[in-house]
Amino acid sequence: MALAHRIVARAFRAWFWLRRPRTIGVRALLVDPHGRIALVRHHYTRFWYLPGGGVNRNEDMGSAVQREVAEEVGIDDAPIVTIAGVFHNRREYKDDHVVLFVMMVDADAAARLHAADRREIAEARWFAPDALPDTVSPATRRRIAEYQRGATGLGTW
């Protein structure tokens, strides 16, 4: 399954290189009562990321982030607390705009965290901000540091 995801990811990068589409994405800084942050690792990469994905046509960003959190980590009742930033991402040849939402969960919801879509998500786990794995993506590490400082993020993802 991981090989198929890698092949599809490469095909998308080639398409993005040719078309250079403008996309809108959302990410969730999902925080539990202990201040831990939910991260996911996809089958097709070694890095840990914040849950999230693309905004579908005719879908608002708030609904998109709630859908992505439910699809990736199985939590469908996380309220949005605030927007932590709006970023521009030009990786993979896209013109991608990413909105980062802070979402808080209670202990019951935190206990339900799991890799909900096993075809896409290899692992989903809670991490203390001061005990992140070495393989957290650089952008994810920056977003968590900004959140800890209370900063609103802007600029490059």
Match 């993005």 to its residue by tokens.
16
The per-residue pLDDT for range 6-20, each reduced to its tens digit, is 777 777 666 656 666
Q: pLDDT tens digits for the chain (157 residues)?
A: 567 767 777 776 666 566 667 789 999 999 999 999 999 999 989 999 999 999 999 999 999 999 999 999 999 999 999 999 999 987 766 688 999 999 999 999 999 999 999 999 999 999 999 999 999 999 999 999 999 999 998 888 8
Distance CA 71, CA 118 (A): 10
Residues 153, 83: contact at Cβ < 8 Å? no
Two structure tokens written together for 113: 């965290």
Over residues 101-120, the pLDDT tens digits come to: 999 999 999 999 999 999 99
CATH of domain 2-156: 3.90.79.10
Q: Are strands 153-156 and 80-89 parallel, antiparallel or unpaired?
A: parallel
Could you please report the per-residue DSSP string of 117-148?
A: -TTTEEEEEEE-TTS--TTB-HHHHHHHHHHH
Please compute Rg for the chain using Cα positions. 15
Res 95: pLDDT: 82
- Residue 155 confidence (pLDDT): 84
Residue 114 DSSP code: -
pTM of the model: 0.85
Structure tokens at 110: 């935190």
pLDDT of residue 1: 57
| Number of residues that make up the chain | 157
Amino acid present at 105: V
Look-up of token digits 């990786």: 91
Contact 87, 24 (CB under 8 A): no
Predicted pLDDT at 15: 64
